[in-house]
Amino acid sequence: MKLNSPRTFSLRLARTAARTAALTAALALALGGCAAPRSAPVPFDINLAAINDLHGFLEAQNFTYTSVTDKTPHTVRAGGIETLSRALQSWRAQDPELLLVGAGDLVGASPPLSQMWADEPTIDALNLLGLRASTVGNHEFDAGKIELLRKQSGGCVTPLSAKACQFEPGFKGAQFSYLAANVIDDATGKTLFPAYRIEQAHGVKIAFIGAVLQGTANVVRPSGVAGLHFGDEAEAINRTLPELKAQGVTVFVVLIHEGGTTREYFDEANCSHLNGPIVDIVKHLDPAIRLVISGHSHQGYLCNVDGRTVTQAQTAGHMLSRIALRIDPATQTVGAVHAENVLMLADSPVAGAASQAASQAASQAASTSGAQAAAQVAPQAEITALLAKVRQRSTAVLNRPIARLALPVVTRKQNRAGESALGDLLTDAQLAASKKLGAQIVFLNHSTMRSDLYANADGVSTYSQSATVVPFGNNMVVMNLTGAEIVAVLEQQKWKIEEHDDAMMLEVSDGFSYRWDARRADGARVVPGSVTLHGVPLQAGASYRVAVNSFIAEGGDHYSVFKAGRERVDSDVSDIGSLTDYLIARDKAGTPAGAAEPAGRVVRLN
């Protein structure tokens, strides 16, 4: 049987039973005094399940996927902790020693259902699901080192004091291990978290080694990671191997919060077109490492890089990676790796015109991986009770109506110039809230918007819908910048040169405008003289009052110019507060907020 056959998992019990029977027969012959040749040891499997980038999604979501099976988009309900519990219950019935591990960003940038309680319900859910270890991700650092250490060890001392220990009076912390081989605490010279965790399954020692992207300090609030050094991922991982081998470990698995992209399908085995930072990291790993479980790029893939298997399971719990390590019994090392990305189908597909086709396709995809059988298993009672408690405790706050919108959805999708309708709305909201501090211009990093802004069937946006858009809890910082510095910060943008580029462009507030030329060299794309405020060109030496969120105020997303701002005021104006206040004011004025298209504040030439 080939290891990558779709029947691999369903036949595992049969192989185990056959192996047991053979050993029993051999023992009976020996006890009976009959001489018989010993059978060669039979290879066996160690089973893993992996999750990445859960981001606190406790409930199932609409999810659109395209499978290698029929290459047609289908929309289903997927994810949710009850769905994950059913799948894991089913798989553990086949192998009680299955190990669940994570590749980071399991919390952070979370929906309000988790975020309003400092993500404690998600940590509780992961404990109940039996997670053993996870690397830290960049979003685990969103609230800083102190809060992340609290998530590991428990307690209530944290900068998030308004949210911590509010869901339960005593937060116990994660029962799983956070790992970080390349995160060094400068004060001690040691890793902030253990570099690895050793587990044992079927008599074999397995080391899970964790690492996070080396550029973490550039994508989180710098003050939250002050005193930490993020080293080279491959070097840090490789350093652990001599120590692990000395402890008798023979199987090495990397959990890394760094990823890539590919044009291949999430369920396409042995993909060969993976691109991105993860590829170079994998190529520099010790040859003894045969499996790399990745995250960060939110794409499902099952790839081969230099003879190693590299997996990722999309995001928000829509998938789990199910992995079998075939072990050579003579050496107790990995002989081969089989991996599948399994859709975590909730109770039923989304209703609509394509629901029947989606249901059939989902069932076909599920049947090859065991998800269909898992759907018949009841989730853990503790998981169901936890979800019910979170919903009950949160409903009054989350369902609170805020204001009418001008249309059902305001999208964060950028046009070819790098501007979005939602970005216009948010910057205008933040400008209105920070004018009392003298702000004239607001800049907003596009990545801070985590969702489109929706209205319900009555055309009203709720607190939950608003808080999902801006979940980070940033406050506004107002500062003085010269006209020359404003042009310099515009030049620090990651320009949207191609339609498929994941641009890191700044959203800008009403009254501010500029033009940029895609044919000009990087660092000189802003058209000279085109940057204006209320139609008047900015003067290079003149001073302007600028408001930005606290993340980019500290140089986040590579916007280092903001760190040079003078006469800084750290305000009490929050991103969610400014948004809700603005929506309410617009609704009361009879002009509900929101537009179908960007306002044209940013103009692209060529």
* pLDDT for 351 beyond 60: no
pLDDT tens for 382-391 read: 999 999 999 9
Mention every residue, 6+ apart, whose C-beta is less than 8 A from residue 255. Answer: 50, 101, 102, 103, 104, 133, 134, 135, 179, 208, 209, 210, 211, 293
Q: So what's the pLDDT on residue 78?
A: 96
The sign one gets for the Cα dihedral 363, 132, 17, 42 is: positive
Spatial contact of 604 and 516, defined as CB atoms under 8 Å apart: yes
Spatial contact of 424 and 413, defined as CB atoms under 8 Å apart: no
Same domain, 356 and 416: no
Structure tokens belonging to residue 455: 């209205």
pLDDT tens for 509-544 read: 999 999 999 999 999 999 999 999 999 999 999 999
Spatial contact of 465 and 552, defined as CB atoms under 8 Å apart: no
Is 139 among the domain residues?
yes
pLDDT tens for 231-245 read: 999 999 999 999 999
Same domain, 459 and 373: no
pTM: 0.81
Give CA separation, 391 vs 107, 114, 396, 489, in Å: 18, 10, 9, 42
Same domain, 406 and 376: no
CA separation for the pair 328, 400 (Å, rounded): 58
Secondary structure letter of residue 426 according to DSSP: H
How many other C-beta atoms are found inside a 10 Å radius of the C-beta of residue 204?
Answer: 20
CA separation for the pair 283, 276 (Å, rounded): 12
CA separation for the pair 298, 164 (Å, rounded): 28
Spatial contact of 44 and 19, defined as CB atoms under 8 Å apart: yes
**Chosen domain end from 393, 416, 449:** 393
Q: So what's the pLDDT on residue 65?
A: 94
| Predicted confidence band of residue 466 (pLDDT cuts 50, 70, 90) | very high
* pLDDT for 178 beyond 70: yes
Same domain, 147 and 266: yes
**Chosen domain end from 393, 424, 444:** 393
pLDDT tens for 315-345 read: 999 999 999 999 999 999 999 999 999 999 9
500-528 exposure pattern, b = at least 16 Cβ within 10 A, e = fewer = eeebbbbbbbebbbbbbeeeeeeeebbee
Is 7 among the domain residues?
no
CA separation for the pair 426, 324 (Å, rounded): 46
Mention every residue, 6+ apart, whose C-beta is less than 8 A from residue 155. Answer: 171, 173
Structure tokens belonging to residue 87: 């799948």
Same domain, 551 and 580: yes
Same domain, 216 and 276: yes
| Predicted confidence band of residue 368 (pLDDT cuts 50, 70, 90) | very low
β pairing state of 475-482 and 566-574? antiparallel
Q: So what's the pLDDT on residue 354?
A: 34
What is the rounded average pLDDT of the residues 402-426? 96
Structure tokens belonging to residue 152: 């590991």
Same domain, 520 and 565: yes
Q: What percentage of residues in the chain have a pLDDT greater than 90? A: 80
Same domain, 352 and 457: no
Structure tokens belonging to residue 364: 């076909």
Same domain, 350 and 271: yes
Q: So what's the pLDDT on residue 502?
A: 64
Q: So what's the pLDDT on residue 473?
A: 83
Spatial contact of 445 and 430, defined as CB atoms under 8 Å apart: no
* pLDDT for 310 beyond 70: yes
Is 387 among the domain residues?
yes
| Predicted confidence band of residue 160 (pLDDT cuts 50, 70, 90) | confident
Is 30 among the domain residues?
no
Question: DSSP assignment of 352-420, as one string?
Answer: STTHHHHHHHHHHHHHTTTHHHHTTSPPPHHHHHHHHHHHHHHHHHHT-EEEEBSSSEE-----TTS--
H/E/C letters for each residue in 6-58?
Answer: CCCCCCHHHHHHHHHHHHHHHHHHHHCCCCCCCCCCCCEEEEEEEECCCCCCC
Is 27 among the domain residues?
no
H or E segment and range at residue 206? strand 204-212
Number of domains in the chain: 2
**Chosen domain end from 349, 371, 393:** 393
* Mean confidence (pLDDT) of the chain: 90
β pairing state of 401-404 and 319-328? unpaired
Is 76 among the domain residues?
yes
β pairing state of 512-517 and 532-533? antiparallel
Q: So what's the pLDDT on residue 375?
A: 52
The residue segments making up the domain with residue 257 are 42-393
pLDDT tens for 27-80 read: 344 444 444 566 778 999 999 999 999 999 999 998 999 999 999 999 999 999
Q: So what's the pLDDT on residue 448?
A: 92
| Predicted confidence band of residue 159 (pLDDT cuts 50, 70, 90) | confident
Secondary structure letter of residue 296 according to DSSP: S
Same domain, 296 and 319: yes
CATH of residue 406: 3.90.780.10
pLDDT tens for 6-33 read: 334 444 434 444 444 444 444 344 444 4
Is 19 among the domain residues?
no
Same domain, 473 and 601: yes
Is 110 among the domain residues?
yes
pLDDT tens for 141-156 read: 999 999 999 999 999 9
Same domain, 230 and 195: yes
What is the length of the chain?
Answer: 606
Q: So what's the pLDDT on residue 578?
A: 97
| Predicted confidence band of residue 376 (pLDDT cuts 50, 70, 90) | low
CATH of residue 222: 3.60.21.10
The sign one gets for the Cα dihedral 63, 68, 73, 74 is: negative
H/E/C letters for each residue in 106-175?
Answer: CCCCCCHHHHCCCCHHHHHHHHHHCEEEEECCHHHHCCCHHHHHHHHHCCCCCCCCCCCCCCCCCCCCCC
